[in-house]
Amino acid sequence: MAQGQSDQRESNQKSKDKWYRDPVWQFIGVIVSVIGILVPVLLANPGWFTYLVSLAKPTSLSPTSTPTTSVIGNDPYAPNTTLKMYDQFKNASAWEDYKPKDLYTGQCASEKGEYHVTVPKAPFFHLCYAQTAPYKDLDYEIELKIVQGDCGALVLRANKILEKFYFFRICQNGSFQFLRYDKKGELGYAHKSEPSDKIHIGLGKTNLIAISARDKMFTLYINKQQVGKVEDDTYSNGQIGIAADCDDDQSTTDVIFSNLKVWTPNG
């Protein structure tokens, strides 16, 4: 009888040991222990319960006013192109940014979310270069506002070291011009200065200028209206940039630039 009771106790102990070693029951034991810890904490701090419930709720996304890529990317100057650069100049991270202390040096400076190019007096212009790869064929568009002085310009196929580039400028007096420049200071008047009724005349007026470059052909646009064509094969590729140009030696020229777009041909 004693032997039977001993065998029964050993069997019960083995069954109990097997129950404790079962992974399923071990997992259940962990869950029960965690609940036993959390319940008093949540009861003592009801704010945590509200927070955990809020995490389980789906979050609704409010609509954004940011333009879609398809809207920004439409090229009004040529088909079969891809938008390569879009810059609103909010922080000028892709541009030179310096503001000399003297009064005789031009500047490229981001001020209060606007990008200013300034040149002190005639007969000078001042260029600011984009910190990007060079371009060959492209459609290049930019908004500019002359707040003081004479003229603003876009620059393309530039070589900063050799100081060579093409230069398409408009002036607040209603004239425009396309030039070729080299380090010797020689200006090639590829398209002489002439008036255009497409320009919004006067200080503080915004104008949209653009140039479409394909090999040696350049098509000029002001406010999305074609104003001229130029043929010149001197420079084949290079950097892009912007400039302020001063014709009057009595006045500083200050130009604000915004909404730059560059497209390149596909293929």
Q: What is the pLDDT of residues 56-98, one digit of tens each?
A: 433 333 333 333 344 577 999 999 999 999 999 887 788 887 7
Pairing of strands 175-181, 253-265: unpaired
Cα 226 versus chain centre, distance:
27
Q: Domain limits at 122?
A: 69-265
For residues 167 and 259, membership in a common domain is answered with: yes
- 143 assigned to some structural domain: yes
Nearest to 131 by CA among 92, 73, 79: 92
- Does residue 250 contact residue 144 with C-beta atoms inside 8 Å? no
Residue 173: the pLDDT is 95
Q: How much is the mean pLDDT over the chain?
A: 79
For residues 194 and 145, membership in a common domain is answered with: yes
- Dig out the tokens for 219 from the structure: 């098509």
Record the pTM. 0.71
**Which DSSP string do the residues of 141-166 spell out, in sequence order?**
EEEEEEEESSEEEEEEEEETTTTEEE
Residue 22: the pLDDT is 61
For residues 157 and 231, membership in a common domain is answered with: yes
For residues 23 and 73, membership in a common domain is answered with: no
For residues 52 and 99, membership in a common domain is answered with: no
Flag whether pLDDT at 147 surpasses 70. Answer: yes
For residues 187 and 217, membership in a common domain is answered with: yes
Overall number of domains in the chain: 2
- 64 assigned to some structural domain: no
- 180 assigned to some structural domain: yes
For residues 77 and 198, membership in a common domain is answered with: yes
For residues 36 and 82, membership in a common domain is answered with: no
Nearest to 102 by CA among 114, 119, 116, 125: 119
How many whole angstroms separate alpha carbon 246 and alpha carbon 3?
Answer: 116
For residues 225 and 197, membership in a common domain is answered with: yes
- Does residue 155 contact residue 165 with C-beta atoms inside 8 Å? yes
For residues 146 and 250, membership in a common domain is answered with: yes
Residue 51: the pLDDT is 39
What CATH number does residue 144 fall under?
Answer: 2.60.120.560
How many whole angstroms separate alpha carbon 233 and alpha carbon 157?
Answer: 11
The Cα angle at residue 202 between residues 94 and 101, in degrees rounded to 5 = 45
How many whole angstroms separate alpha carbon 258 and alpha carbon 256?
Answer: 7
* pLDDT > 70: percent of the chain: 67
191 φ, ψ to 5°?
-140, 110
- Does residue 187 contact residue 180 with C-beta atoms inside 8 Å? yes
For residues 110 and 17, membership in a common domain is answered with: no
For residues 122 and 233, membership in a common domain is answered with: yes
- 170 assigned to some structural domain: yes
Domain boundary pick from 32, 56, 80: 56
Q: Is the peptide bond before 100 cis (omega within 30 degrees of 0)?
A: no
- Does residue 146 contact residue 138 with C-beta atoms inside 8 Å? no
